[in-house]
C-alpha cells in the first residue's frame, strides 16, 4: 500500500485554511458603521457611547499611533436566521500573527455593558445564541490603534514608541464589520482536523499515525467543498473513531490554566495596559460563561486594582467568576516584578501588598508565586517566599538560556539561607501555549522528571500584550483530554497540580543558588534613570516609614498609612519586569522617571513632617541619620545637634609626579595626572589594593550591538573591542571646609563628556566617585574598571537581605555564561586577611575577570554604567546621567554592607530644637532593615532584621519607651506580619539567627 503522507497533510491543510475556516461565518450581512476618532487620550466608556458618529466605510484607513477610535455598528438580524447562533465578525485590519502587539478593541452594548474584546485571534462577538429574526443590533467598539513595534524584522529603530514622537499617519485598514451566522459544526470540524493534523506530525510512522491520515482522507472525501456547512457533520463522523481512541495509561498529563501574561508595560504605556487588562478579562469571563470546565488564572494585584478603578463593570464580572472558582487569582504579588534588582523590603511589599489585596477583595490568599517571565531570580527569594506563606514557585524563563539546559522541571530551589521552595518550570518551554501538537509533544518528551512524576503545567493563551485563551484553545483541550498518541490535557488549578507533584516527588532534586538567566544580562544597566529612581525611592520609603513610626510613637504625629501604601504601590508597579530592567518603550521610561520624581517629593515631605515633629520647633541644625550604622557623628537611626558632631581630622592632599596623594588615618590613595587611581593602601595592614602596574577608575568604552534584543542583551563578544578613556580635559584638587579632599577630573570622548569628583572624607575607608556623564553615544557600553591586587576565589555581591557568592573562574560553561552579573549596594572580593569592596548608589551590573602574571593572581571588577541600545527606545540613557560609587580599601563583608548602606542612606540636616534617640536599636550579628507600624493599623510596631554576612550568630532588638509609648513583649511574625511558628513569644534581648536569616518581629502597642 502506497502511503503519501505529504499528499494527505497538504490536502487537509489547504482545505482547512481555504474552505473550512472561511465557512464558519460564511452567511453574513454587513453592519452599518459609524466612527469617531478621538484627538487625544482615551475617554471613559460612558463618554465614548455618547459621541457623535459619522458614516464609516469598511476598507477606510483609521487610527494613528496610540489613538482611539470609537465605532458604532448597527443592523438587523435577518428573519431567516431565526433560532441560529449569530455573531458579529469585526476585522479592524488585524494580522493574525500579532495578537497583543497591534490594534485591539473592547465591544460594548448600548447600555455600557462590556461584552468582550476583539483582537487578531478573536474577531467574533456573540449577538444571540438563538437569534430572533428582525431583532435590532447595536454594538460599540472602543478601538485602540497601537503601533506594531516588534515586527517581522524585529528590533528596528523606531520613534513610534512615544506619543510625543509618533507619526500621525493612520495605521490600519478595516476588512470586515459583519453580522454572521456561526456554523458550529463547521467550527468543530475545523478543530477536529487541526488537532489531528498536529498530532500526526508528532507521531512515528506507525499504525496510529497512518489511521489518523486515513481518517483525514475519508473525512475530506465526504466534504463537499461548495457546501461545507451541509456536509461538515458527515465529515466529522469519519473522524469520530480516531478522536475517540483513549490515551495510553502512562501518558503525560498537562495541567492547563488559561493565561494571558499581560505585561504591565512594555511596548505600550501603562495607560494602554489598563485597557488591555479590561479587554482580556472581559473576553475571559465571557469564555468562562461559554464553557463548563475552563479555568483562567491571572496574577498581579495591580491589574485587578486597575479594572476595579477604571472598568468597574468589568470588575463585577471578574468578581463573580472568582466567586465561582473559574477565574483564579494566582501569584500573590503586586506585579510580576523583576526579582534581581529590587531591595529585600520591596520584595516583601510585593508579597504583602499583593496578598492583602487578594484577601481583601476575594477572601483568597494565593499559595504560590507565579513569575513566568522575569530575567533571572535572586537566591534570596526562597526564604522570602516561605516567610510570606507561599508553598510553591512557578516560572518558565530559564528555558531561554543561551548555553546551558536547566536540568530540572520540578524540583526544590534552595536559597542563600537554606530555605527551600517547591518549584516547577513548564516542560513545553512557553508561557503562551496554544496547545499545539508540537507544544504538547514537547511537554511530554522533554519532561525531566518523567521517571517519577506524571505531569506539567501549561499556561494557555495569547500573552505579553494580552488576549488570553480562545475558544479554539478550549476546543483543542477538550479533544486532548484523553486522546491516543497525545499527552492528556485538563484544566486545573495550579494548587492542585503542585499538591499532586509534591506527593509524586517525595525526594525531589535540589537546585542551590540563583536562577541565573543566560540571556538579557544588559537589563542590569539599560535605562539608568529608571534604575536610579527606583533605588532612591526604595530608600526614601524605608526612611519615611522609620521617621513616621518614630514620630507616631513619641508625638501626636498621625502615621500616613494610605499615603505610604499608595507610594509603595507606585514603586512596586515600576519594578515590573519590563520597566525596571529598562526594556520598555520611551513613553514608559519617560513616565517612570517622572513618577519617581513625584514619589521622591512626596516621601521627602513625609520625612520632613515627621522629623519636624521629632526635633521640635527651633532653629538649630539637627543631624539626622536614617542608616542602621553610625555616620557623620549621629547615632544609628537617630539625631544629634550639629554642635555635638565631633570635629574630624582633615584629609591631607599633596602633589606627586603630576598627580595627587590623598590620605587620612586609614588609607592613602594616589590619583595620577590622568585622574586614575594608581595606588590605594590600607594603612592598618600596609596592603596595596590596586594591582601592580595598573590603574583603577579606568573608564572603558565597548562596542555593543547584540545579535538581538537590543535593550535586553549584551553578548560576550562585546569585550573584543574596547577603548580606554584616559585622556583628560582637566584635573584639579582641593580640600574643603569639612576636611574632605577632592580631585575633579573632566574628560571628553566621542560626543560625550564626563566629570568626576573623587573624594576622600576624614575617617573613611571609602574613596568615592561622583560622576556626571553627558552621554550621547550610540550602541556603546560604558564601564569603569578596578584591577585589584586580591586573589579572590569568589565575588560576594549583595542581594536581598544578604549576599551571593560567584566563583571568579570559568571552569565550566555554567560559570563562563555568567560574564555579566548582578549586585545591590556592594560587591566584595577578598582573600584571607584582606578585602576590597566596590559600593554604589544606583548600579546593578558588573563583571569580573581573574588575571595572573608569573603566578600572581589578581581580580578585576568592572561596574556597568551606561548603554545606548536603539530598540525599543532609541534615546536610551541619552543626556545627563549621574552615578556615585566607591572603593572600600581594606574591608570585610560587614564593612562592605555598612559602606553600601551609608552611600544609599546618607545623613540629612534639618532645623529643630533638639536631637532624639533611636526608637529601635539592634545589636549583635543582625542589621536593621525596616521599622514600621503594622499593616493592620493596630499601632503595633514591626521591626525587620537580617544576618548580613552568612554565618550563625545572635541578635538583640531594644525598643525605646521614651515619651510614654510602651510596646509589649515581642512575637516573631511572617512577612505578612502574622504569627509565625505557633505564635511563640520571642526574647528580643537575645535570639539566634542563621546565616542570611530574615527575622520579622512584632511589638504590640499597649500604651502611648
Active site residues: 373
Cβ within 8 Å of residue 479, ≥6 positions away: 191, 192, 195, 243
Asked, as a colleague might, if the bond just before 872 is cis with ω within 30 of 0, I would say yes
Q: Sign (positive/negative) of CA torsion 474, 475, 478, 482?
A: negative
Helix H or strand E encompassing 354? helix 344-362
3-state secondary structure of 157: coil
Q: 107: which strand partners?
A: 116, 141
Contact 102/164 with Cβ under 8 angstroms? Answer: no
Q: What is the DSSP letter of 486?
A: S
Nearest residue to 808 (alpha-carbon basis) of 792, 787, 822, 825 = 792
Residues in the chain: 1008
Q: Which of 889, 893, 888, 886 is nearest to 948 (CA)?
A: 893
CA distance 998 to 948: 9
Of 967, 953, 902, 937, give the one whose Cα is nearest residue 945: 953
Strand 327-329 vs strand 296-298: parallel, antiparallel, or unpaired? Answer: parallel
Largest CA distance in the chain: 102
Residue 586 DSSP SS3: helix
Three-class SS state of 285: helix
Q: How far is CA 358 from CA 312, 329, 864, 975, in A?
A: 16, 7, 38, 16
**CB-CB neighbours of 822 under 10 Å:** 25
**Dist CA 312 CA 415 (whole Å):** 40
- Scored b (16 or more CB within 10 A) or e, 755-767 reads bbbbbbbbebbbb
Sheet holding 639-641, edge to edge: 639-641, 620-624, 908-912
Q: Is 402 exposed, middle or buried (0-12, 13-18, 19+ CB in 10 A)?
A: middle
Asked if 174 and 59 touch (Cβ cutoff 8 Å), the reply is yes
Q: What is the DSSP string of 829-861?
A: EEETTEEEEEEESS--EEEEEEEEETTEEEEEE
Which contiguous run of DSSP H or E holds residue 694? none
Q: How far apart are CA 301 and CA 461, in angstroms?
A: 20
Grid coordinates belonging to 85: 447562533
Dihedral pair phi/psi, residue 38, rounded to 5°? -80, 145
Amino acid at each position: 500500500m502506497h502511503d503519501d503522507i505529504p499528499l494527505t497533510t497538504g490536502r487537509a491543510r489547504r482545505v482547512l485554511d481555504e474552505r473550512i475556516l472561511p465557512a464558519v461565518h460564511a452567511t453574513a450581512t454587513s453592519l452599518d458603521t459609524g466612527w469617531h476618532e478621538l484627538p487625544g487620550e482615551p475617554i471613559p466608556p460612558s463618554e465614548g457611547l455618547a459621541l457623535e458618529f459619522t458614516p464609516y466605510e469598511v476598507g477606510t484607513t483609521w487610527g494613528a499611533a496610540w489613538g482611539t477610535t470609537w465605532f458604532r455598528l448597527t443592523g438587523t438580524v435577518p428573519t431567516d436566521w431565526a433560532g441560529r447562533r449569530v455573531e458579529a465578525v469585526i476585522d479592524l485590519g488585524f494580522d493574525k500573527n500579532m495578537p497583543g502587539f497591534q490594534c485591539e478593541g473592547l465591544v460594548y452594548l448600548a447600555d455600557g455593558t462590556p461584552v468582550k474584546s476583539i483582537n487578531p485571534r478573536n474577531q467574533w462577538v456573540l449577538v444571540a445564541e438563538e437569534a430572533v429574526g428582525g431583532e435590532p443590533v447595536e454594538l460599540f467598539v472602543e478601538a485602540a490603534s497601537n503601533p506594531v513595534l516588534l515586527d517581522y524584522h524585529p528590533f528596528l529603530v523606531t520613534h513610534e514608541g512615544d506619543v510625543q514622537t509618533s507619526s500621525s499617519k493612520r495605521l490600519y485598514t478595516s476588512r470586515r464589520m459583519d453580522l454572521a451566522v456561526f456554523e458550529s459544526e463547521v467550527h468543530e470540524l475545523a478543530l477536529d482536523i487541526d488537532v489531528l493534523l498536529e498530532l500526526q506530525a508528532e507521531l512515528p510512522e506507525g499504525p496510529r499515525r497512518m489511521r489518523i491520515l486515513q481518517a483525514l482522507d475519508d473525512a475530506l472525501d465526504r466534504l463537499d467543498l461548495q457546501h461545507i456547512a451541509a456536509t461538515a457533520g458527515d465529515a466529522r463522523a469519519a473522524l469520530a473513531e480516531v478522536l475517540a481512541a483513549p490515551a495510553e495509561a502512562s501518558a503525560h498529563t498537562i495541567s492547563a490554566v488559561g493565561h494571558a501574561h499581560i505585561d504591565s508595560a512594555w511596548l505600550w504605556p501603562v495607560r494602554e495596559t489598563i485597557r488591555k487588562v479590561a479587554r482580556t478579562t472581559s473576553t475571559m469571563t465571557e469564555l468562562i460563561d461559554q464553557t463548563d470546565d475552563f479555568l483562567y488564572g491571572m496574577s498581579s494585584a495591580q491589574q485587578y486594582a486597575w479594572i476595579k478603578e477604571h472598568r468597574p463593570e468589568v470588575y463585577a464580572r471578574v468578581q463573580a467568576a472568582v466567586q465561582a472558582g473559574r477565574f483564579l487569582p494566582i501569584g500573590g504579588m503586586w506585579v510580576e516584578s523583576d526579582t534581581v534588582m529590587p531591595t529585600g523590603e520591596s520584595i516583601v511589599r510585593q508579597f504583602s501588598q499583593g496578598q492583602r489585596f487578594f484577601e481583601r477583595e476575594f477572601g483568597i490568599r494565593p499559595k504560590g508565586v507565579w513569575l513566568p517571565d522575569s530575567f533571572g531570580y535572586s537566591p534570596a527569594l526562597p526564604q522570602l517566599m516561605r516567610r510570606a506563606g507561599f508553598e510553591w514557585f512557578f516560572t518558565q524563563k530559564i528555558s531561554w538560556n543561551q548555553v546551558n539546559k536547566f536540568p530540572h522541571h520540578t524540583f526544590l530551589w534552595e536559597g542563600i539561607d537554606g530555605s527551600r521552595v517547591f518549584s516547577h518550570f513548564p516542560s513545553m518551554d512557553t508561557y503562551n501555549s496554544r496547545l499545539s501538537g508540537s507544544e504538547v509533544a514537547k511537554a511530554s518528551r522533554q519532561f525531566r522528571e518523567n521517571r517519577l512524576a506524571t505531569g506539567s503545567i501549561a499556561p494557555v493563551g495569547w500573552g505579553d500584550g494580552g488576549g488570553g485563551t480562545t475558544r479554539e484553545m478550549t476546543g483543542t483541550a477538550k479533544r486532548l483530554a484523553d486522546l491516543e498518541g497525545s499527552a492528556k490535557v485538563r484544566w486545573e488549578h495550579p494548587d492542585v497540580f503542585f499538591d499532586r507533584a509534591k506527593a509524586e516527588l517525595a525526594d525531589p532534586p535540589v537546585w542551590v543558588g540563583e536562577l541565573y538567566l543566560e540571556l538579557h544580562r544588559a537589563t542590569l544597566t539599560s535605562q539608568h534613570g529608571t534604575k536610579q529612581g527606583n533605588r532612591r525611592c526604595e530608600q526614601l520609603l524605608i526612611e519615611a516609614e522609620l521617621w513616621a513610626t518614630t514620630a507616631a510613637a513619641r508625638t501626636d504625629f498621625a502615621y500616613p498609612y494610605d499615603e505610604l501604601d499608595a507610594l509603595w504601590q507606585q514603586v512596586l508597579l515600576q519594578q515590573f519586569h519590563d520597566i525596571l530592567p529598562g526594556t520598555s518603550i520611551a513613553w514608559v521610561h519617560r513616565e517612570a522617571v517622572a513618577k519617581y520624581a513625584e514619589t521622591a517629593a512626596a516621601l521627602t515631605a513625609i520625612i520632613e513632617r515627621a522629623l519636624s515633629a521629632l526635633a521640635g520647633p527651633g532653629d538649630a541644625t539637627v543631624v539626622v541619620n536614617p542608616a542602621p550604622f553610625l555616620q557623620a557623628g549621629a547615632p544609628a537611626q537617630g539625631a544629634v545637634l550639629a554642635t555635638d558632631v565631633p570635629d574630624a581630622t582633615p584629609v591631607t592632599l599633596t602633589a606627586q609626579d603630576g598627580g595627587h596623594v590623598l590620605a587620612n588615618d586609614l588609607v592613602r590613595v594616589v590619583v595620577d595626572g590622568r585622574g586614575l587611581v594608581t595606588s590605594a593602601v590600607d594603612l592598618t595592614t600596609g596592603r596595596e589594593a590596586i594591582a601592580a602596574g595598573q590603574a583603577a577608575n579606568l573608564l572603558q568604552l565597548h562596542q555593543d550591538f547584540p545579535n538581538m534584543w537590543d535593550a535586553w542583551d549584551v553578548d560576550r563578544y562585546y569585550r573584543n573591542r574596547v577603548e580606554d578613556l584616559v585622556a583628560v580635559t582637566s584635573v584639579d584638587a582641593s580640600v574643603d571646609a569639612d576636611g574632605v579632599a577632592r580631585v575633579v577630573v573632566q574628560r571628553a570622548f566621542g560626543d560625550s563628556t564626563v566629570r568626576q569628583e573623587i573624594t576622600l572624607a576624614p575617617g573613611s575607608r571609602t574613596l568615592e566617585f561622583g560622576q556626571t556623564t553627558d552621554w550621547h553615544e550610540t550602541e556603546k557600553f560604558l564601564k569603569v574598571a578596578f584591577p585589584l591586587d586580591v586573589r579572590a576565589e569568589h565575588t560576594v555581591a549583595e542581594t536581598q537581605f544578604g549576599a551571593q557568592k560567584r566563583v571568579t573562574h570559568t571552569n565550566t560553561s555554567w560559570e563562563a555564561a555568567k560574564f555579566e552579573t548582578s549586585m545591590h549596594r556592594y560587591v566584595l572580593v577578598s582573600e584571607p586577611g584582606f578585602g576590597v569592596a566596590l559600593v554604589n548608589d544606583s548600579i546593578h551590573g558588573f563583571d569580573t575577570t581573574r588575571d595572573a602574571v608569573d603566578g600572581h593572581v589578581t581580580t578585576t571588577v568592572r561596574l556597568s554604567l551606561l548603554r545606548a541600545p536603539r530598540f525599543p527606545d532609541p534615546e536610551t540613557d541619552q543626556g545627563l546621567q549621574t552615578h556615585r560609587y566607591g572603593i572600600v580599601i581594606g574591608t570585610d563583608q560587614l564593612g562592605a554592607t555598612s559602606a553600601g548602606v551609608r552611600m544609599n542612606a546618607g545623613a540629612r540636616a534639618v532645623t529643630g530644637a533638639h536631637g532624639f534617640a533611636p526608637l529601635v536599636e539592634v545589636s549583635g550579628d543582625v542589621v536593621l532593615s525596616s521599622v514600621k507600624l503594622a499593616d493592620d493599623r493596630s499601632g503595633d510596631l514591626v521591626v525587620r532584621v537580617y544576618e548580613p554576612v552568612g554565618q550563625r550568630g545572635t541578635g538583640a532588638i531594644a525598643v525605646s519607651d521614651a515619651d510614654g509609648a510602651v510596646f509589649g513583649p515581642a512575637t516573631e511574625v511572617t512577612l505578612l506580619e502574622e504569627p509565625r511558628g505557633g505564635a511563640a513569644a520571642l526574647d528580643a534581648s537575645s535570639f539566634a539567627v542563621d546565616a542570611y536569616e530574615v527575622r520579622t518581629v512584632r511589638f504590640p502597642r499597649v500604651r502611648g
